[in-house]
Amino acid sequence: MTTVAQLEDRLTSPSESLIQVMRRLEGDLMILGAGGKMGPTLAVMAKRAAEAAGVKKKIFAVARSPLPALAKQGIETLLCDLLDLDAVSRLPQVANLVYMVGRKFGSTGAEHATWAVNMVAAYHVARTFSRARIAAFSTGCIYPVMDLRTGGATEATPPAPVGEYAMSCLGRERMFDLFAERGARVVHIRLNYAVELRYGVLVDIAMNVHQGKPVDVTTGFANVIWQGDACDQILRSLEIAASPAAVLNVTGPETFSIRAVAQEFGRLFGATPIFIGEENGRGYLSNASRANALFGNPSVPLGRILAWIAHWIKNGGETHGKPTHFETQDGKY
């Protein structure tokens, strides 16, 4: 892949399994928070899957700012401030909803805004769409920082969020739990971390190696999943939304070494990585066994993603310039 058009076509290509899900899933679909890094991918994938399934299904994409690129692709775009309950109540009632709204970066020093976005907006949506199936984005950061030897947090690992961002994300889950206990069907998507060629943990590492900057290996291990595979699993997870709420870790099957990945990028770039820090054997690590059992392994393995990213960067491909700060363990973003 050498162009954004090729990349986005690959990211939004639906699997045959997702096409079958769209054929079974009754009703329209709305994506809240569709203006973020993953929202457009998920919206277009849903649209393509519905078309391939031969079903008439409206796909709504909701954000605070206009989404002209999605509108051009036949997706119905709507503007809404989810902190305004009256505005939320005016959104169309749909049978299926993907909730992607969240605030992370800039949380330190503006904790009040993070709590409002991550909890109040979730309460408004859960209250308004109590009859819908809801796949609600969460994060692996609600788990404790895990020791590598544990194999990563499973869905049964008790939450132990570190820092106010992670605490507010657990609060977001609890808002949906409140209504799931009353009959709403919800699945919490504990995601870490989605990657593609323009941003993500792997791009952070690759850019540092390519530019001769040091790679911090204190947080020495991570999990990632190709963004297209993440969106595929999230849309398919609507079928497992339940009351009380279900929980699903969405990430790749491998726990990889940051040092080893940097060394592989060094080989691909013909460069010698520079390292700082020392691995402490801990990180936000999740076990994706349940998702793998439900959906199979991701279609794009780690090695292929590394090769694609190296090729992309060597050929001057654009990046979003938004570091993930994956090395953070103190919960401050």
**Token match 């008790």: residue?**
158
Q: Which amino acid would we find at residue 269?
A: F
- Reduce the DSSP state of residue 209 to 3 states and report it: helix
pLDDT at 327: 73
What is the chain's mean pLDDT, rounded? 94
Q: How is residue 269 written in tokens?
A: 């770039």
The one-letter amino acid code at 329 reads Q
Split at pLDDT 50, 70, 90, the class of 332 is: low
Question: 216 exposed, middle or buried (CB, 10 Å; 0-12, 13-18, 19+)?
Answer: middle
Residue 128's domain comprises 4-195+225-252+287-293
Is the residue at 48 inside a domain? yes
pLDDT digits (tens, 9 = 90+) for 45-62: 999 999 999 999 999 999
Mean pLDDT, range 238-267, rounded to an integer:
97
Per-residue tokens: 264: 């592989």
* Tens-digit pLDDT profile for residues 165-195: 999 999 999 999 999 999 999 999 999 999 9
**Whole-number pLDDT of residue 324:** 83
263 assigned to some structural domain: no
The pLDDT-based confidence of 111 (bands split at 50, 70, 90) is confident
Query: Is 191 a member of any domain?
Result: yes
pLDDT of the residue at 137? 97
pLDDT at residue 105, as a whole number: 59
Residue 321 pLDDT: 86
Note whether residue 303 is domain-resident.
no
129-165 confidence digits (pLDDT tens): 999 999 999 999 999 999 999 999 999 999 999 988 9
Query: What CA–CA distance (Å, rounded) separates 307 from 310?
Result: 5
Omega cis (within 30) before 193? yes
List Cβ neighbours of 158 (8 Å cut-off, separation of 6 or more).
Answer: none
Residue 281 covered by a domain: no
pLDDT at 331 over 80: no
We report the CATH number of the domain holding residue 137 as 3.40.50.720
110-118 average pLDDT score = 88
User: Is 220 inside a domain boundary?
Assistant: no
Categorize the per-residue pLDDT at 329 as very low, low, confident or very high, splitting at 50, 70 and 90: low
DSSP 116: I
pLDDT at residue number 282: 87
Give residue 104's pLDDT band: very low, low, confident or very high (50, 70, 90). Answer: low
Query: For residue 48, how many C-alpha atoms fall within 13 Å in the half-sphere facing its CB?
Result: 21
**Could you give the CA distance from residue 177 to residue 3 in angstroms, rounded to a whole number?**
42
In 109-211, beta strands by DSSP E: 133-139, 146-147, 185-191, 194-195
- Tokens at 116, concatenated: 């409002």
Percent of the chain with pLDDT over 90: 86
Residue 90 gets the label, from left (phi > 0), alpha (psi -120 to 50) or beta, of alpha
Q: Is the pTM of this model over 0.85?
A: yes
User: How much is the pLDDT for 303?
Assistant: 97
Reported confidence tier of residue 227, pLDDT bands at 50, 70, 90: very high
Cα separation of 22 and 24, whole Å?
A: 5
Residue 307 within any structural domain of the chain: no
pLDDT at residue 103, as a whole number: 74
Amino acid occupying residue 75: I
Tell me if 155 sits within 8 A of 206, measured CB to CB: no
Domain contains 245 = yes
CA 90 to CA 302: how far, in whole Å? 42
Nearest to 147 by CA among 166, 164, 160: 160
Pairing of strands 256-257, 221-222: antiparallel
The domain total for the chain is: 1
In single-letter form, the type of residue at position 218 comes to T
Spatial CA neighbour of 47 closest among 77, 21, 22: 22
